[in-house]
Copies of this chain bind each other. A is one copy, B any other.
Amino acid sequence: MNDGFTVSIVGLGLMGGSLALALRQANKDSDPLPFHAYRIIGVARSAETLAAAQAAGAVEATTTDLAEGIAEADIIVLATPVRTILRLLPEVGRYAKPGALVLDLGSTKAQICQAMANLPEHLQPVGGHPMCGKETSGFTAADADLFRGRPFVLCPLPRTSSAALDLARSLACAAGARPVILDPAVHDRAVAAISHLPYVAAVALVHAAADDPVAWSLVSSGFRDTTRVAVCDVDMMLDILLTNREAVLVWLDAFAGQLAGLRAALDIGDEPGLRAQLAAARAWRADLTL
């Protein structure tokens, strides 16, 4: 038993803000947990965001200064877009205290884990990615229940101690998530298939339909849902695509192959072949429970 951990969350948008709210909620419910309190320091560029987070009771202290914000932290959580995380890591290495866990919430993991390998040896890096989100962003979209029941991918480095990994696991559990340990490259390939490819497909669907004014005037709930992710923050998505380029290209090619197969079956009127493919997709998708 100890009297808790100081957690510095850098970036208080949807993910960082939701983590802060979830940990504050865990503090209230924490009697049976191994750690009875997380003290949360919010670090962000915008004073307005910090004020909103403090007003919502998400953080106990705030600062716009990274060095000051992480100096006392047992756990540093980087919750900015991916390329900002890559830029911040050297600074984190300079100002974090020895033994601190350095965790991130970025949507791609290979480049981040590679950069984490350059952190000073006295720090404990773990790549992280909670598998949840919304198309909205910013602290105003944050939600204490965002992580509840969702997989929270953790990518320890070879040098990461088991105590540090346990700490990351506890934090994920305290936020209500299910920790899943994965290799960074395996993670990046998987999320390219289920998140980055669907995003690119949604963008392309919007471009195709927006060219036809009659089509656009008739759009219904099917189009709305299929293209919902196209409103995701552009900076965040650019960072994701550009730091997971190879996996996204592989899945774009696989997707183009699937589409070409469906096109060919439709073109020649191969009804049994088309039926088999539609029925298989229907059965798989109907099995998803989310």
Chain A residues near B (Cβ < 8 Å): 131-135, 150-151, 153, 180, 182, 186-187, 189-191, 193-195, 197-212, 214-232, 234, 237-238, 241-242, 245, 248-249, 251-256, 258-260, 262-263, 266-267, 269, 271, 274-275, 277-282, 284-286, 288, 290
Contact = CB atoms under 8 A, between A and B. Distances in A.
Most buried by B among A150, A187, A189, A210: A210
Contact of A245 (B135, B221, B241, B269): B269
Contact of A194 (B150, B209, B229, B256): B209
Copies of this chain, complex-wide, total: 2
Contacts of A135: 222
Residue of A194, A207, A214, A228 ringed by the most chain B CB atoms within 10 A: A194
B255 A205 contact: yes
Contact of A203 (B197, B221, B230, B262): B262
A274 B197 contact: no
A245 B266 contact: yes
A271 B228 CA distance: 23
A149 B225 CA distance: 18
Contacts of A226: 198, 201-202, 225-229
